[in-house]
Amino acid sequence: MMMALICRFPFWPVSPVIGSGALAVLLGVAGIVLSVIMLIDCLKRPASKFYYPITKEAEYDRLVWAGAIVLSLGFYFIGAIVYFFVVKRAKPETNKQAQPTTTSTSEANQKPEGQSQKESE
């Protein structure tokens, strides 16, 4: 009795409704859909949008990620999941010190007193 309860435990809330076999099918279909969406995103993404390049200048990143996604279809879709968190949700690094400060147009157009137009150019 206890062994039957332990074996069914991971699927017990869903089992009376759709059965544990149906849950496995639903997870498999969801994994294939996720993999197809991530593969399409990978193939359409320009090289400049791979913020953490794997290869030199992100030249072959598209090929590497597409291969990882396709090859992981038999391994619980881990390539699509990793691609989602590493590439799709990645934010570009912003360095606040490297960004120039902007000035208003009135300050930028002002010339020091006594300076002619030819001297400022």
Q: Quick: pLDDT tens for 10-47.
A: 544 545 556 667 778 888 889 999 999 999 999 999 98
Helix (H) or strand (E) segment spanning residue 21: helix 20-44
Query: Does residue 55 lie in a domain region?
Result: yes
pLDDT of residue 115 exceeding 70, the answer is no
Q: Supply the pLDDT for residue 112.
A: 58
For the chain, the maximum distance between any two Cα atoms, rounded to a whole number of angstroms, is 98
Contact predicate 41/35, CB 8 Å? no
Query: Does residue 103 lie in a domain region?
Result: no
Domain count, the chain: 1
Query: Does residue 68 lie in a domain region?
Result: yes
- Any idea which of 4-8, 22-26, 105-109, 114-118 has the lowest mean pLDDT? 4-8
Token reading at 114: 């006594």
- Across 2-119, the runs of DSSP E, i.e. the strands, are none
Q: How far is CA 70 from CA 64, 106, 113, 115, in A?
A: 10, 56, 67, 66
Query: Does residue 16 lie in a domain region?
Result: no
Query: Does residue 2 lie in a domain region?
Result: no
Domain encompassing residue 69: 35-91
Query: Does residue 102 lie in a domain region?
Result: no
Token reading at 104: 């208003």
Query: Does residue 47 lie in a domain region?
Result: yes
Who contacts 39 (Cβ-Cβ below 8 Å, separation ≥6)? 66, 69, 70, 80
Query: Does residue 18 lie in a domain region?
Result: no
Confidence of residue 1 (pLDDT cuts 50, 70, 90): very low
Amino acid (1-letter code) at residue 64: V
Q: What is the pLDDT of residues 55-96, one digit of tens each?
A: 888 889 999 999 999 998 888 889 999 999 999 988 777 765
